[in-house]
Amino acid sequence: MSAAIGVVMTEHIVAGRLQLENEQMVLVGRLSRFPADPSETEALIGVTVNDLYEQLAAQIKPLVAASPVAAIGLAVPGVVRNGVVQDAPNLTQIKGIRFGEQLAAVLRTHGIEAPVHILNDADSVAAGLASRGGALDRMTRVWTLGNGIGYGRWPIADGVWEGGHTVVTLDPKERFCGCGGVGHIEGIMGNRAMRLRFMDMEPEDIFANAKSGDQRCRDFVDLWHRALAAGCATAIHLGGPGRFYFTGLNIGFLDLKLLREHLEKMVRMSPLQSYSLEILPADDAISVVGAGVAALRAQQEW
């Protein structure tokens, strides 16, 4: 069987059906989305786990109505290992749960029989990019910029890979990360962190005011880019150079020229300077494809 469902649950839920065509997994039909309004970015935060299961089932059920699928891939934010969501600072209600197994059980009550493979949402973006480029045999790295900061890698390797919690500053006052840690990238770049830091501004206001010349906002925008550069530099020094993709809800804030200027100051060894940086518009389809591809690979169906 060469069909799968890809589902991503981050600021919203989005799902789609994948089919093998010309040796590549492609989306069939339109994506479903909850909530429908893309401006709602915190609709899932207070939802109970049982309601999340039912909402996911509501998105998945129409996609398997025509014919069964080999696997369902579900991408979520947080630390996902051995089928367990070990931590999820931005969706705390799913922490400690074998979410994939529980969702599969709920789906069976709806007449849907398929294994559910759960993975980190940033890893699903990396898998989708690798699949789209026919590069599933090569390393792909991606930063996702939104309510949280994700670091995705394909092929998925054993480990935690919570790049958004990389320590990029030793300032003890940098305590804005949702996990409670000090000095993290997400504590600078994440939406929650930006709101806590400024209190009277939304993230969009901070970047707009920086362009208008507000010095406090300009200094923060520089810090925001230095934090991301530090995360990239750490990844380069550990895993080597290569291509980095950037996408997500807040990709419009990213100034690639400024990021490169900071990164060039941080990566000085000549063998490590052959990296490239590429912005991708936020596209749910990429991560949906990645979730489905990862699920099929986990079942060795493709």
List pLDDT tens digits, range 222-237.
999 999 999 999 999 9
Tens digit of each residue's pLDDT (9 = 90 or more) over 158-182: 788 889 999 999 999 999 998 899 9
46-64 mean pLDDT: 95
- Over 70: is that where the pLDDT of 26 sits? yes
Which pLDDT does position 66 carry in this prediction?
79
Domain that holds residue 149: 135-279
Q: Which of 162, 158, 133 is nearest to 278 (CA)?
A: 133
DSSP string, 198-227: HSS--HHHHHHHHHTT-HHHHHHHHHHHHH
Q: Which two tokens stand for residue 285?
A: 């389809």
Q: Tell me how far apart the alpha carbons of residues 249 and 281 are, in angstroms, rounded to a whole number.
A: 9
Same domain, 208 and 114: no
Measured between alpha carbons, how far is 27 from 288 in angstroms, rounded to an integer? 9
Q: Are residues 26 and 118 in the same domain?
A: yes
Residue 204 dihedral angles phi and psi, to the nearest 5°: -60, -35
94 and 152 in a single domain? The answer is: no
pLDDT for 89-143, tens place per residue?
A: 889 999 999 999 999 999 999 999 999 999 999 999 999 999 987 888 888 999 9
Do 208 and 112 have their domain in common? Answer: no
Residue 40 has pLDDT above 90, yes or no: no
Please state the pTM of the whole predicted model: 0.86
Percent of the chain with pLDDT over 90: 80
1-5, 190-194, 207-211, 280-284: which has the minimum mean pLDDT?
Answer: 1-5
List of residues 6+ apart from 298 with CB closer than 8 A: 71, 73, 115, 117
* Range of weakest confidence among 57-61, 157-161, 189-193: 157-161
**Residue 124: Cβ within 10 Å count:** 34
- Lowest-pLDDT range of 16-25, 202-211, 248-257: 16-25
Q: Count how many domains the chain has.
A: 2
Q: Is the dihedral of CA 266, 268, 272, 274 positive or negative?
A: positive
Distance in angstroms (rounded) separating the CA atoms of residues 302 and 164: 30
Task: Mark whether 75 and 145 lie in a shared domain.
Answer: no
Verify that 185 and 290 share a domain, yes or no.
no
70 and 199 fall within a common domain: no
- 120 and 21, same structural domain? yes
Indicate if 171 and 75 belong to the same structural domain.
no
CATH for 73:
3.30.420.40
C-alpha distances in Å from residue 42, one per residue of 91, 142, 146, 291 = 10, 23, 11, 22
Q: Specify the pLDDT at position 143.
A: 97
Section 248-265 average pLDDT: 97
pLDDT averaged over every residue in the chain: 93
How much helix, strand and coil, in percent to the nearest 5, is found in the chain? 40, 25, 35
pLDDT above 70: percentage of residues in the chain: 99
Residue 1 has pLDDT above 70, yes or no: no
The answer on 203 and 68 residing in a single domain is: no
Strands (E), the chain: 3-9, 13-21, 24-34, 71-76, 79-81, 84-87, 116-120, 140-145, 149-154, 243-247, 276-279
Mark whether 81 and 139 lie in a shared domain. Answer: no
Does one domain contain both 275 and 292? Answer: no
Q: How confident is the model at residue 22 (pLDDT cuts 50, 70, 90)?
A: confident
